[in-house]
Amino acid sequence: MPSKHSTPSTLTASTAWQALIQHQQEMLGFNLNQAFADNSLRAELLSLESCGIYFDYSKHLIKPQTLKLLFDLAAQQQLQSRIQALFAGQHVNNTEDRPALHTLLRYQDSAHVPRSLQPIFADVVKVKQRMREVSQQVLTGQIRGFSGKPFTDVVHIGIGGSDLGPAMIYQALSAVHQPGIRCHYVANICANDITETLAALNPHTTLFILASKSFTTLETLENANTARRWLLASLEQPEAVAAHFYAVSAKPEKAAAWGVKPEFVLPFWDFVGGRYSSWSAIGLSLCIGLGYEHFEALLSGAAAMDQHFLHAAPEQNMPIILGLLGIWYTNFWQRQAHAVVPYDHRLRRFPQFLQQLEMESTGKCANLDNQQIDYQTCPDIWGEAGSNSQHSFFQQLHQGSDFTPIDFIAVASAPHGLQSHQDWLLANCFAQSRALMLGQTDNTPGLEQHKFMPGNKPSSTLMIDTLTPANLGALMALYEQKAFVQSVIWHINPFDQWGVELGKKLSQSIKAEIDRNADFNTLLADGFDASTASLLQRYLHKAD
Ligand code: F6P
């Protein structure tokens, strides 16, 4: 809920914002079906292609004037100079007083790297060299387990940005999994996660990677300790830990203090945010599981999207248009949700990845000037793979009382060779965006309204030919930059996440009460509310 202000903010009072409010009123009667009937070139005009992604945004409640006004808003918010600031390494993360340099991790060579960032880029290259060596040595059996056996399994332990990207990428790129080695991703502090994963593994041939930027994250450390106990239960000798644990962290000294051999700790940097860190050594499991050259290809796709973002004019710029369409619906149609539906089973974790990327980046209610804002920011991002989701939440998308903009993500070809499956999959994808737009009237007596579908519901379709590492890298970078575009419009910092801290802090004090088995009155005396105190009592006496 935007906070109530007695006076509107600079943004909502601005000329560009007010022009869009006015324009939205004029667009209330806009009919998408009619727009296609009126202009046979609409699909051609409202689509573009770059970095292996074809972006069709013609099924949106927009006309050329809408885009013009959105570009005006972007210009008013100085989008171009903010993009330059991001890539130049200025301190765009103002609340933590540092740059956000995830883009530096994916340059293919130093030619495009700004001169002032060349020394840091040299460090990046060194770490990548190390990632290449480690992954090749694991894959060729030069790095082996304590008892001399080659590794067959890699368990990556991390959470949030230290998990969602790598886990999603590994699953999505099954076509290039290396033979003889499997990667597993453990995140949840719920022990079912790690115990189910370890149950199928052999400690002698399992390599762990502890992935944590801060190396203080509760879930990761708890899982790391459980993994160490599991290993030692079989290998018995404490020195085995050094042979089976790698770590990736921006605090290498903490990883070493935990017990990882200092040479087995790969660093990254404070200027890489957790949710932007798959491109860093956090991607070590990917270098092993996909092979280093495929990890590099992932980076190259992201780098290509960065160059497109930097250089394409707004009218041809995919992240800018994707971001501005989100602004159009969030701020001028008051949409509070945005769905993402990938039509490819391998991309089933992509919506979860986007949830953190967008909701942790732009789910904010304070602006860059430390003021509360009076407009809506990040909508709820949610989704699930198609066609499964057609049989769950699509009823609401078609006939619910509100409309939700949707991104359909289609992959044209698939490695499985079952063409009939693929044809049906894509037929369903295209049918959904068309049905949402088309709507239907029905004259069945007594069911006229039940069968009525209003149509005119907007969606984008992003289509890629093949799910290669490069195309996936470009897709991820597209959404990263979309979030950046929106943050500029909203005048917020997309690179901090202060909102997650309070819950972490409170869990510490509650755990302390669990440890001392506090009774109800003690909990009240310690300042707990009666609801939390009752829940704790119920938990503590569950076995009574
Ligand atoms: O709790 C949120 C968060 O800080 C994310 O931003 C981050 O990606 C995740 O936790 C994990 O943090 P770390 O990599 O420091 O363990």
Ligand 1 atom at minimal distance to the Cα of residue 162: 14
CA-nearest residue, atom 10 of ligand 1: 160
Interval 148-167 mean pLDDT? 98
Is the CB of residue 125 below 6 angstroms from any atom belonging to ligand 1? no
Interval 266-279 mean pLDDT? 97
Interval 228-248 mean pLDDT? 97
How many angstroms separate the alpha carbon of residue 247 from the centre of ligand 1?
15
Q: Provide the pLDDT for residue 79.
A: 98
What are the tens digits of pLDDT across the range 459-469?
999 999 999 99
What are the tens digits of pLDDT across the range 361-409?
999 999 999 999 999 999 999 999 999 999 999 999 999 999 999 999 9
Residue 216: DSSP 8-state: -
- Global pTM reads 0.97
How many angstroms separate the alpha carbon of residue 279 from the centre of ligand 1?
15
Is the CB of residue 497 below 6 angstroms from any atom belonging to ligand 1? yes
To test the ligand 1 pocket, which listed residue (497, 501, 507) has its Cβ within 8 A of the most ligand atoms? Answer: 497
Taking 60 as the threshold, does the pLDDT of residue 496 lie above it? yes
8 falls in which pLDDT band (50, 70, 90)? confident
Q: Provide the pLDDT for residue 543.
A: 59
Is the CB of residue 135 below 6 angstroms from any atom belonging to ligand 1? no
Q: Per mean pLDDT, which range of 2-16, 332-346, 424-438, 517-531 is the poorest?
A: 2-16
Taking 90 as the threshold, does the pLDDT of residue 319 lie above it? yes
Q: What angle do CA 541, 221, 104 make, to 5 degrees?
A: 140
CA-nearest residue, atom 8 of ligand 1: 161
Q: Provide the pLDDT for residue 485.
A: 98
- Of 137 and 543, the structure prediction assigns the larger pLDDT to 137
Interval 90-104 mean pLDDT? 98
Contact 414, 347 (CB under 8 A): no
Is the CB of residue 160 below 6 angstroms from any atom belonging to ligand 1? yes
Please compute, for residue 399, the number of CA atoms within 13 A of its CA located in the half-sphere on the CB side: 10
Is the CB of residue 159 below 6 angstroms from any atom belonging to ligand 1? yes
Mean pLDDT of the chain: 96
Contact 282, 166 (CB under 8 A): yes
- Whether residue 387 has a cis bond before it, omega within 30° of 0: yes
Contact 530, 523 (CB under 8 A): no
Q: Provide the pLDDT for residue 174.
A: 98
Please enumerate in sequence order all residues whose Cβ is within 8 A of that of 492, keeping only pairs 6 or more positions apart, or say none: 362, 364, 366, 367, 368, 373, 377
Is the CB of residue 212 below 6 angstroms from any atom belonging to ligand 1? yes
Q: Provide the pLDDT for residue 7.
A: 67
What are the tens digits of pLDDT across the range 42-73?
999 999 999 999 999 999 999 999 999 999 99
Catalytic (active-site) positions: 360, 391, 504
